[in-house]
């Protein structure tokens, strides 16, 4: 009987192996989202800069936007921020920020240092909207059309290559439709 117990490590290892195998070939930056093709989930959250002002899904109405999930504690967000600044100021892209599981003060110090590319920032300290969206970790960037429908989800840093090859085609198509 006791010898059977010695097989437990083997079973655990095989179990982990199955998950690892399933992960191969799936580019983790292209995680599927159950949200694609559906509207942004309903939410009622504060504006980062103005706690009195409540935001809801209407922020996405009327214009094609990028929704960028970021936090001060997320190292990669520091990396991509410069490029977001470039997109907002030089390319005229409308970016809505989702400040994710962060604190107001640290978020402000982040923006103070690196600049603010966001037209509006949704403050989501408990990650509730993030949870509904299926956020897997910051940074993530979503393309959202003028009706507030999620068109695309990108996990990881946005840079020149990702923008030109991945996000811009979706973004332009959405603009063409609206």
* Of positions 39, 57, 63, 76, contacts other proteins by CB under 8 A: 76
Q: Where are the beta strands (DSSP E) in 61-136?
A: 65-70, 95-100, 120-124
* Of positions 47, 49, 73, 162, contacts other proteins by CB under 8 A: 73
* CA separation for the pair 108, 38 (Å, rounded): 31
**Contact (Cβ atoms closer than 8 angstroms) between residue 107 and residue 74:** no
* Of positions 26, 38, 53, 175, contacts other proteins by CB under 8 A: 26
Task: Tell me the two tokens of residue 50.
Answer: 């103005």
Maximum CA extent, the chain: 70
* Contacts (Cβ under 8 Å, ≥6 apart) of 65: 59, 94, 95, 96, 119, 143, 144
Q: How far is the CB of 23 from other proteins (least distance, A)?
A: 4
Sign of the torsion angle spanned by Cα atoms 167, 141, 75, 88 = positive
Any contact of residue 23 with other proteins (CB under 8 A)? Answer: yes
Q: How far is the CB of 177 from other proteins (least distance, A)?
A: 28
**Contact (Cβ atoms closer than 8 angstroms) between residue 178 and residue 146:** yes
Any contact of residue 164 with other proteins (CB under 8 A)? Answer: no
Peptide bond into 139 cis (omega under 30): yes
Site string for other proteins, 104-143 (x = CB under 8 A): -----xx-xxxx-----------x--xx--xxxxx-----
**Range in contact with other proteins (rule: CB under 8 A) among 2-10, 43-51, 57-65, 90-98:** 2-10
Q: How far is the CB of 93 from other proteins (least distance, A)?
A: 19
**Contact (Cβ atoms closer than 8 angstroms) between residue 163 and residue 84:** no
Q: How far is the CB of 164 from other proteins (least distance, A)?
A: 13
The contact set with other proteins (CB under 8 A) reads 2-3, 6-7, 9-10, 13-14, 16-29, 31, 71, 73-76, 78-79, 82, 85, 100-101, 109-110, 112-115, 127, 130-131, 134-138, 155-156, 160
């Amino acid at each position: 009987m006791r010898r059977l117990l010695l097989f437990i490590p083997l079973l655990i290892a095989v179990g982990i192996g199955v998950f690892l195998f399933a992960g191969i070939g799936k580019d983790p930056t292209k995680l599927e989202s159950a949200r694609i093709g559906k509207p942004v989930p309903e939410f009622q959250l504060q504006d980062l800069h103005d706690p009195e002002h409540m935001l809801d899904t209407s922020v996405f109405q009327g214009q094609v936007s990028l929704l960028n999930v970021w936090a001060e504690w997320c190292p990669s967000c520091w990396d991509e921020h410069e490029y977001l600044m470039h997109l907002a100021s030089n390319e005229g892209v409308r970016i809505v920020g989702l400040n994710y599981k962060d604190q107001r003060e640290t978020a402000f110090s982040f923006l103070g240092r690196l600049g603010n590319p966001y037209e509006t920032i949704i403050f989501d300290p408990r990650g509730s909207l993030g949870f509904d969206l299926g956020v897997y970790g910051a940074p993530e960037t979503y393309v959202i059309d003028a009706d507030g429908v999620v068109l695309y989800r990108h996990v990881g840093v946005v840079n020149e290559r990702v923008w030109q090859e991945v996000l811009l085609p979706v973004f332009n198509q959405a603009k063409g439709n609206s």
